[in-house]
Amino acid sequence: MSSNTKKWFSLNLNNKKPIQNKSCGCGKTSGGCESHNNLDAATKKDGFDQVFDVKMSRRTAFKQLAASLAIGAGAVSTSCSVIAGDDSKEKAQIDWEEQFKGNYKLMTDDEKKATVDRLVRSYQLRTGKTLNMSSKNAEENVLFGYAFNISKCQGYMDCVTACVEENNQDRNSQMEYIRIHEMKDGKGFNFNEADDNYYHEVPAEGHFYMGTQCFHCDNPPCVDVCPVQATWREDDGLVVVDYDWCVGCRYCMAACPYDGRRFNWSKPEVPEDEVNKNQHYLGNRLRKKGVMEKCTFCVQRSRAGKNPACVEACPTGARIFGNLLDPDSTIRWVLENKKVFRLKEDLGTEPKFWYFMD
């Protein structure tokens, strides 16, 4: 984003151009209503895209290198192995190409499709089962946002369970993207005294509940710090990770003020019959050890027009998800009619996750 369309706080370093007053129909100077979006769309390619374009030539060069290496390796393995079956050769070929593929963010649509096809084929070769993996890009005029009704949440944690099942999280380490904080009435939002690991009947007397997860910040600190651009903000606002590009340095984890990221400390395991086979490359496909992962607002569902699993699973209706650029969406209604707030707004991260009360 260019500096005058930034929504978050940044110092005006003696800019000659006065910052435009971007008031519009929605009555706010910021936020994701359509009139702001038009402004954004009108701006020319920004620095980010320029960097992106430069990288393309390098990428092509590397691609050719990788391809020739792959062909060489394929030839070697074919000529050298007499007993290896076609399947294992194909598997080796796929593994090789996967090891030396590029960053998903910089791939063309064809390359994205190719890697998805390889991953599907690889899974088929290993388990004999087919899965459905998407590489769907962000749609235009979509910016996802989320709202959480503190008055309604009763702490049932159905969202947590649904999330784990939907997103194929490691069962051994009980990885969970969502944390539900149980807070005492009359203490305000006191996270210090809250319990995010309770095992008792809910709703507990004298308590209220508040859920946290990745807030998909518009100005995400985790993205800036990644040394290899393995995590980025998609055009529809989702902050995603390329699991195959991540080197596992965990700098993003240190940079996240919202505890939104999880690391695969050991090889993640999901029982074969529990694997959700409806996957997205950037979402719930099976991860490997030593890489970062996080909530993607269920990219495999949200880009297919569905609600994330946590929203669908919530029995109280405390969770609201939708397109911030659609003036008729429920999320827009909430933002316009409720007193909403966000956590740690002073950090300038601009989360797209709002809290409100009835």
Partner 1 sequence: MRRFKVFGRLVKDSVDTITHGSKKYHIWMAVLTFVMLVGMYCYSIQLEEGLSVTGMTDRVSWGLYISNFTFLVGVAAAAVMLVMPTYVLKDIDFKQAVLIGEGLAVAALIMCLAFVIADMGGPSVLWHMIPGIGVFNFPNSMLTWDVIVLNGYLFLNISIPFYILFRRYQGKTPNPKVYIPGALLSVFWAVAIHLVTAFLYQGLQARPFWNNALLGPRFLASAFAAGPALIIIVLAIIRTYTSFKIEDKTLKKIAMVVTVAAQINLIMLISELFKEFYAPTHHSESAYYLFFGLDGKTALLPWIWTAIVLNVLATVILTFHKLRNNFRVLFFACFILFVGIWIEKGFGLIVPGFIPGPYGKIAEYTPTGIEIGVTLGIWAMGAFVFTILAKTAIRIEIGKLRYSKNKND
Residues that bind partner 1 (CB under 8 A): 55, 58, 62, 65, 99, 102-103, 106, 173, 175, 179, 181, 191-194, 196, 212, 221, 224-230, 244-251, 253-259, 261-267, 289-292, 347-349
DSSP string, 318-337: -EEEEETT-TTSHHHHHHHH
CB of 85 to partner 1, least distance (A): 26
CB of 221 to partner 1, least distance (A): 6
Distance, in Å, from the CA atom of 105 to the CA atom of 245, rounded to the nearest integer, reads: 10
CB of 32 to partner 1, least distance (A): 23
Nearest by Cα to 135 from 242, 60, 288, 287 = 242
CB of 101 to partner 1, least distance (A): 10
Q: Sign of dihedral through CA atoms 8, 11, 16, 18?
A: positive
The DSSP call for residue 202 is: S
CA angle 103, 109, 110 (to 5 degrees): 95
Give the residue with the Cβ less far from partner 1, 306 or 344: 344
CB of 91 to partner 1, least distance (A): 18
Give the residue with the Cβ less far from partner 1, 19 or 65: 65
Give the residue with the Cβ less far from partner 1, 60 or 124: 60
Give the residue with the Cβ less far from partner 1, 97 or 324: 97
Distance, in Å, from the CA atom of 124 to the CA atom of 118, rounded to the nearest integer, reads: 10
**282 contacts 324 by C-beta, under 8 angstroms:** no
Give the residue with the Cβ less far from partner 1, 95 or 139: 95
Distance, in Å, from the CA atom of 313 to the CA atom of 158, rounded to the nearest integer, reads: 6
